[in-house]
Structure 1
């Protein structure tokens, strides 16, 4: 019986505690967390899905350059309403505008996931989840903003926290909205031989 080759160290190119928590749900603990700094400014006429894929790839490539011999996993989540990209709100006023925009209508949450193997081969997935928020009252928006949960997250809300009470419709991956689609991520890790079938 042959012994399987040792697994390369797994590097998570993300500072997000949510992604660490999600990976732990499927028994994956990265050997190293290596956040990368890249320019996340959308390009002219860039669509939300294109931005999510490009940022995930850019983060993975930046981390792979710093971690030779490792298996590098990166992801980036973008919220889109039509062609409009809702990034991380700069302040409470922008968070309010985002909430008012998605109030009573459907929007998309897209996560690009990129895995770079030690030999440089790259595998990618782009996952989209459609959500519908109830129509929010002024009081609901004000109360939600006061919680501060809008800070540092795309679209200005976190579905795993208080905002979940506003979700009247969801089609697709719930973990994708949190920040990492687990089914697709596990597929990538299995394909690379890191996660056992």
Structure 2
């Protein structure tokens, strides 16, 4: 996931200063992108200005340093929509930050693209579960150091596998319900505006 896309998504909601972006990422956005240093934000904003994705106005602040207020440009808007509508390629880790960030913005930009993202994630997770759920697990042919307790390792591995399996199942349940809800919302919106459902 490109950091640029997260910043474009945020700037698609309203203008922000760099400081406001940093505060959002530290609080509401901590599950979208964690441990973002302020220098990364300002470096990325500078690059995005140079590429014409965003622009800024200087907000004079008496007694304090002036602030740059960034806003998305038409080029940035097109790039944001292109990212939101591009095919989503799941990773092996469920609830990946790329899914979370993309979904958070895509669902507000294009319901069909959000449904397609959920479909891609569901197909990938179902296949992942089908292949990996009942596979043999554990360490095979090990010759551990004396301090390594293979029985405890196997027990802990089984516990983690069970927890992971339950978590993936809950994730897929959530995806399936979200898909149903999004389709209903999309169809309701289309019915009220006279557009046909896909």
Q: TM-score, normalised by structure 2?
A: 0.25
More helix by share: 2
Q: Which has the higher contact order (CA 8 A, sep 6+)?
A: 1
Larger Cα Rg: Structure 1 or Structure 2?
2
